[in-house]
Amino acid sequence: MLVADLLVRALELDGTPVWAVLTGTEEAERLRKDAAALGIRPFEDGDTAGHGPGTGQSVRVVGERGGGSGQAPDAATVAVAPVHPAGPDLADPDAVRLALLERHHRARVELDAAALDEARDTLARLRRAVADWARHPSRPVPAEVRDQLRAAWEDDLDAPGVLRVLRQVETDPDLADGARFEICAYADRFLGLHLTRDVGTSY
């Protein structure tokens, strides 16, 4: 569902209307609850498929072994590698989301204590930096940085690539702090990590 959420976000950033539908599961309510905790926007019920506006292209997001047979045979398919454990502790959902985003969706992810601790530290650092940059006069997102971000998420939803751009932004001496803030706010429309959450907070 996280990969489907990234797909929705990338399409919306490109100005494409999206109709997201949850299908092929008997655990819809549990999935919706976990998805909400992870910042995944709600999906329509499976039985509403085909009721979206227009007749656009269908894209299915499935486990790496496929699944959901017999549905939309002409749809493009995005396969997702497994995550272990399959039901992670969601006490810190943003850290879980970042730990997943650090790996490409075709790579198996191990959500162990080390990965989650690293994600918490990264989030704390980024949020402190974004809150500090927000105190400076705003500057536009440089065209070359915008192009790098878009190239990453348009290349098979390359979330790790987006995060690499943000790491470069943190240390680029030629960027004004106001531009760093706007870049992170723009990238977070794809990442969904609440990077601007601590703006206005005193550290």
Compute how many other C-beta atoms are within 10 angstroms of the C-beta atom of residue 46.
14
Q: Are residues 92 and 136 in the same domain?
A: yes
Using the 8-state DSSP alphabet, how is residue 139 labeled? Answer: -
Burial class from Cβ neighbours inside 10 Å (0-12, 13-18, 19+) for residue 165 reads middle
Q: Are residues 8 and 98 in the same domain?
A: no
pLDDT level of residue 66 (50, 70, 90 thresholds): low
Compute the distance between CA of residue 59 and CA of residue 153 in angstroms, rounded to an integer: 16
Domain boundary among 80, 103, 129: 80
- Kindly state the average pLDDT of the residues 70-93: 82
Side chain identity at residue 76, one-letter code: A
Rounded to two decimals, the pTM is 0.89
Residue 117's domain comprises 88-203
Look up residue 85 and give its two tokens: 């454990």
Look up residue 105 and give its two tokens: 């969706």
Is residue 88 over pLDDT 80? yes
Q: Are residues 68 and 109 in the same domain?
A: no
Quick one: angle between helices 113-133 and 177-191, nearest 10? 140
